[in-house]
A and B are shown apart, each in its own frame.
Chain A
């Protein structure tokens, strides 16, 4: 073990060992919530901050990659580790966001049915540790070990409340698709080694594969990592698993785990495969845009708040992949500056999404913790009872809707700038199709604002739809700290986008050979100063300044008197909370406009019903069209094979006998 040559990696390994220790410590008194809550999780958060600092150190522009070989693993296949700028970026993401989630989880978990908190602590920290190891793995074997550990630990976390059958079912589906993806990734690595039969990433970087084999490797990697990220059509596990898991786990999965899949795709396409064909980029772009639109349209019609956020994660993953697709496309035509722009946009959106999606999932966790309700139809008016959560969730909502001056807008702005550069591509058909892609991106962004207004408005605003909601309590101190940390991240990244751009400069230089131009401390001007510029901090200053000045002026010149009375509502005196829009009502225009995208099952009451009922069920068409026939086909195949299992001992002995005869014939 070379300790001196790889200081950051050594520190990282120590931090990971720290997490494992914390996890094992949880097993001492598994049912003692106080120990787990007040000691173990906050320590885990501190370790997370340490990981973030290691990642930040690796992003410094003059740093070379560090490598390390651990003598663990099989005799001829030791674990290789490598820390370069790309890994550093994802470590920063995981550490910073993970710290916030851990602090929240410290205040969230309580004794109940399901897994004991101590066991949960072990699974949680193993999950975090495995995700860190995935982004520093430098050979295929170690990568797969870490990947599988990630899948298994998250499976246990998802099925925390394993006594409920729906949750078990969701966990099973999740594990199934995770493994299908893992097989695909393994096959991809198998192709990438290109005949050298050495599975380290260094060996894979060396040789250049023929275009056919490179395409096979790329497509296998896309399928495998896409299954984990949630690209259509391999997305079906996401809307089941995220609501089933406890909220901090959903936040970890949406915020961190989906990003490891993004890391995988980036590692394979930009590092292991030196060059790419342009149609790979077009394919990824098309899939990304389709996934984005699909996710947001489905999110608009959900009535469960965590399912809505899960579909929103699918949408954002689609946007990230469309940025990656653009980057591959530009790189293939050697338009390096624009490839760097697209890649930076994708990476920054990854970071932003980790922050605001985790924030939103944790906010729903607080709501669930306080009210016990997940159904949007039974929430409402919580801004009065839970002011802290409401304000911080507002920051998250505005960020995810892509509104300036928060961070979600910055990555969408960069992505749109990248789309604008496409007319320089020499291929005429691609040239004309890409403005349509920009249109799809704009549509997705606008729809996500719609979805988030629905989410925030139905949960926090309006009047409570159930009387029990008036007894809701605000989030505890540890929960608030976690939420504040993540919200602060959103605000800082929005006001100072140059920080994120500087962080990604090293990565794009290594990946495509160029980096976007840096503006000044206040302005971001990725291409040229006269061409497009944006200043987050000045926008904040401007808006806050005008608001403050207006407020003061109005108070001074006029007055600030307020009278409180019943709402006007056009003079209607009999208003009840049930007269406001339900979540479904708010999504009705989308259901009407995009009706053919869903499979809707409606039961409308007739005018002669004495007890009228309304029932609607909205299903994913892909589930019926793809997965059910696939499942039936597999079942039929299994039935055919099951014929062998006759049940009689004599038959089994006959099989063994026949095999022996066959072997004797072939060997002799």
Chain B
């Protein structure tokens, strides 16, 4: 019998499973507000997970990482996005390109793919969280699918942000976080990106009278 994993490892597995659950929930949500709240929740679990890893492995820089994530992804970004959604009046997303059960099936397929891919890599890593690399990869892929199958611009941005969450989690699980400089740089990029995208949304809505990205298809050679 394999000895049961330590309590820390169990908690980390639980957090990872929670992140995966939230990714799936985001894939199936139609309301933009719920998406933003789920994104906030995902950020909160990331904070908890990073703090736990920092505590158990004794790495101080991960505490800063967790703090940065807390400020940015749990407080600042959801607030900006909620205000944006209110002003754009984009509470509801239209039907996604493929219907939701099919999207979920594709999601399960991607999860299997990610898990199968990550198992040999996990064997090489030395962190306490190496088992969760597969889940991190799955979160990235699921977020990508969400970006592909949604029609409104705001939900696509949510997919982009969720993908960034997955990348952060992958970094934590494989190599105990990225160098601080890289992390600060990415955080700044994300923040600026959201501002710029917000400005773009207003432009799109003025030009096409709707945020449905199908209208962007008119911009092509005929």
Chain A residues within CB distance 8 Å of chain B: 428-429, 432-433, 436
> Does B116 touch A at the CB level, under 8 Å?
yes
User: Which 5 A-B pairs have CB atoms at the shortest separation, nearest pair first?
Assistant: A429-B116, A432-B112, A428-B119, A428-B116, A432-B115
> A274–B181 Cα gap in the complex (Å)?
62
What is the predominant secondary structure among interface residues of chain A facing chain B? helix
The distance from the CB of B208 to the nearest CB of chain A, in whole angstroms, is: 31
> A534–B112 Cα gap in the complex (Å)?
33
> A436–B107 Cα gap in the complex (Å)?
13
> A436–B112 Cα gap in the complex (Å)?
10
Q: Chain B: interface residue count, which band?
A: under 10
- Residues of B107-132 whose CB lies within 8 A of A: 108, 112, 115-116, 119
Point out the residues of chain A lying under 8 angstroms from B112, CB to CB.
429, 432-433, 436
> A428–B114 Cα gap in the complex (Å)?
12
10 pairs, A vs B, C-beta closer than 8 Å? A428-B116, A428-B119, A429-B112, A429-B116, A432-B112, A432-B115, A432-B116, A433-B112, A436-B108, A436-B112
Closest to B115 in A: A432
> A429–B108 Cα gap in the complex (Å)?
14
Closest to A431 in B: B116
> A432–B134 Cα gap in the complex (Å)?
13
Closest to B99 in A: A596
Closest to A439 in B: B108
The distance from the CB of B108 to the nearest CB of chain A, in whole angstroms, is: 8
Point out the residues of chain A lying under 8 angstroms from B115, CB to CB.
432
Point out the residues of chain B lying under 8 angstroms from A432, CB to CB.
112, 115-116
The distance from the CB of A42 to the nearest CB of chain B, in whole angstroms, is: 53
Specify which of B108, B115, B116, B119 lies most central, judged by the most chain A CB atoms within 10 Å of its CB: B116
> A184–B62 Cα gap in the complex (Å)?
65
> A105–B94 Cα gap in the complex (Å)?
59
Point out the residues of chain B lying under 8 angstroms from A428, CB to CB.
116, 119
> A421–B115 Cα gap in the complex (Å)?
20
The distance from the CB of B1 to the nearest CB of chain A, in whole angstroms, is: 15
Point out the residues of chain B lying under 8 angstroms from A436, CB to CB.
108, 112
> A436–B113 Cα gap in the complex (Å)?
13
Known contacts A429-B112, A432-B116, A433-B112; 7 further A-B pairs (Cβ under 8 A) = A428-B116, A428-B119, A429-B116, A432-B112, A432-B115, A436-B108, A436-B112
Closest to B101 in A: A593
Point out the residues of chain B lying under 8 angstroms from A429, CB to CB.
112, 116
Point out the residues of chain B lying under 8 angstroms from A433, CB to CB.
112
> A433–B116 Cα gap in the complex (Å)?
10
> A436–B108 Cα gap in the complex (Å)?
10
The distance from the CB of B54 to the nearest CB of chain A, in whole angstroms, is: 31
Point out the residues of chain A lying under 8 angstroms from B119, CB to CB.
428
The distance from the CB of A238 to the nearest CB of chain B, in whole angstroms, is: 28
The distance from the CB of B112 to the nearest CB of chain A, in whole angstroms, is: 5
Closest to A432 in B: B112
Binary flags per residue of B130-155, CB closer than 8 Å to A gives 1, else 0: 00000000000000000000000000
> A184–B51 Cα gap in the complex (Å)?
64
Closest to B116 in A: A429
The distance from the CB of B104 to the nearest CB of chain A, in whole angstroms, is: 13
The distance from the CB of B87 to the nearest CB of chain A, in whole angstroms, is: 38
The distance from the CB of A430 to the nearest CB of chain B, in whole angstroms, is: 10
Closest to B111 in A: A432
> A432–B119 Cα gap in the complex (Å)?
12
Point out the residues of chain A lying under 8 angstroms from B108, CB to CB.
436
The distance from the CB of B121 to the nearest CB of chain A, in whole angstroms, is: 13
Closest to B105 in A: A436
> A433–B115 Cα gap in the complex (Å)?
11
Point out the residues of chain A lying under 8 angstroms from B116, CB to CB.
428-429, 432
> A432–B108 Cα gap in the complex (Å)?
11
The distance from the CB of B119 to the nearest CB of chain A, in whole angstroms, is: 6
The distance from the CB of A504 to the nearest CB of chain B, in whole angstroms, is: 33
The distance from the CB of A203 to the nearest CB of chain B, in whole angstroms, is: 43
Closest to B102 in A: A596
> A429–B112 Cα gap in the complex (Å)?
8
> A428–B113 Cα gap in the complex (Å)?
11
- Residues of B77-114 whose CB lies within 8 A of A: 108, 112
The distance from the CB of B109 to the nearest CB of chain A, in whole angstroms, is: 9
> A247–B116 Cα gap in the complex (Å)?
50
> A246–B80 Cα gap in the complex (Å)?
72
The distance from the CB of A664 to the nearest CB of chain B, in whole angstroms, is: 65
Closest to A435 in B: B112
The distance from the CB of B199 to the nearest CB of chain A, in whole angstroms, is: 40
Closest to A429 in B: B116
The distance from the CB of A435 to the nearest CB of chain B, in whole angstroms, is: 9
The distance from the CB of B211 to the nearest CB of chain A, in whole angstroms, is: 29
The distance from the CB of B176 to the nearest CB of chain A, in whole angstroms, is: 26
The distance from the CB of A290 to the nearest CB of chain B, in whole angstroms, is: 15
> A433–B108 Cα gap in the complex (Å)?
11
> A187–B112 Cα gap in the complex (Å)?
38
Closest to A593 in B: B101
The distance from the CB of B123 to the nearest CB of chain A, in whole angstroms, is: 11
> A159–B154 Cα gap in the complex (Å)?
63
